Structure 1
Amino acid sequence: MENTFDKTAVETIDLLEARLRRIEYAVCGQVNESTLSGNKTSAARRLAALEYSLHQLASKSRVVQELLRLHSRHPDLFQSLSSNDLPTTLDAESLLSIIMASASTYPATASRLTSILDVPVPPAELSAQLIDLQPRIAKVEALQAAQNADIAQLRERSAAVIQRWYTVDILRAGESWAELEGRVEQVEQKVRRTALAKRLDDDMV
């Protein structure tokens, strides 16, 4: 009986280790061979090593951290349900009404799924051509980005030139014309005064 328990414990630890290695390979793309424990190691040490490996994997992967956090908050999501256990508290009549309300969308969804199967797969040559064009597309995108930067710089320079032209030529010219008009008015006033004084002198004579 003791040998059976030991065998069961070893097989369970082997399964846990295999699952952990599959997760590590799916997340990291490789398996750290240095963390593999041999069958001759005690069960307690193998469990401690697996727990350490899990913590190391969680510290390196944000996805694993999110999964562990989700499992701690909602453990029911990770439990498999049998076909007889419905994941709802509604009665059969309510479920039937919900299903019948969406019954009209089932044929449309089925036809769409069928139409997806009818879509032809692009030939491999076309995909290879697109892959070969990727460097040229990247160069064109870089060139376009540089042109956009040049255009933005030209717009800024044009706006600065227009602002300078408006400030120097328009505003200052307007000020000069206003000053000239003021001087002309002053001269006209002096001329009128001189003409009036001369007229008065002539009348007195």
Structure 2
Amino acid sequence: MKEEAIKFITEIIKPWEILNQQLAIPLAMTPESNDVTSTANTLAVNIKHLPEFCKGINPNALLAQSKSYQIICDLADTSKHGKLRNQARECILNVSSMFERSKDVKFRFLRNKIIIQHNTFGKIDFMQCALESAVFVASILDIRTDWTPKIFNSSGEFTKEIKLHASRANQITWTGLTLEIVELNEEGEYLNVDINGDVLFTLTSDF
């Protein structure tokens, strides 16, 4: 196996897949500061710099070829440097707990969603953006693997309860959470909706 492929698997595929699994656990996370946003920032840096490390390709030379890669590069630079000269490139990460609402107003946990809040492009799903960027980088470097990434969405039963746990295992402090309620439309897309009914909210906590 080529050195580029080993580095791609080690620094991009494995962290993405581990993050994918972690986000499938119904945990209440402080939106701005937690282990998954820290991992996501590191993954963004890895994706940005892999072409440069492997083939000496300046990331700026690739930006016009992939919007997702451009966004990941903006995230990598913001996470490393904070304020950027071009404020239109700045972005931050937040986490929301995504629940699907059924037609009869019951709910089930889908996943925790890492959201890139970009000054130019608005809200973007980090996992999808990182996936697209990773596939783009693999094509640029001619890296071939059997990786078939798929973002996990839990498929539990719908109930009248929204239940989450705030754990010390993935955050230093817990100050609150963000809920995102979605409904599946006829095209198979999740659209944001209101709760529009009564629901029992249960939060357990290590804090």
Query: TM-score, normalized by length of structure 1?
Result: 0.18
User: Which has more strand, going by share of residues?
Assistant: 2
When Rg is computed on C-alpha atoms for both structures, the one with the higher figure is 1
Which structure's relative contact order is higher, taking Cα pairs within 8 Å and 6+ residues apart? 2
Greater helix share, 1 or 2?
1
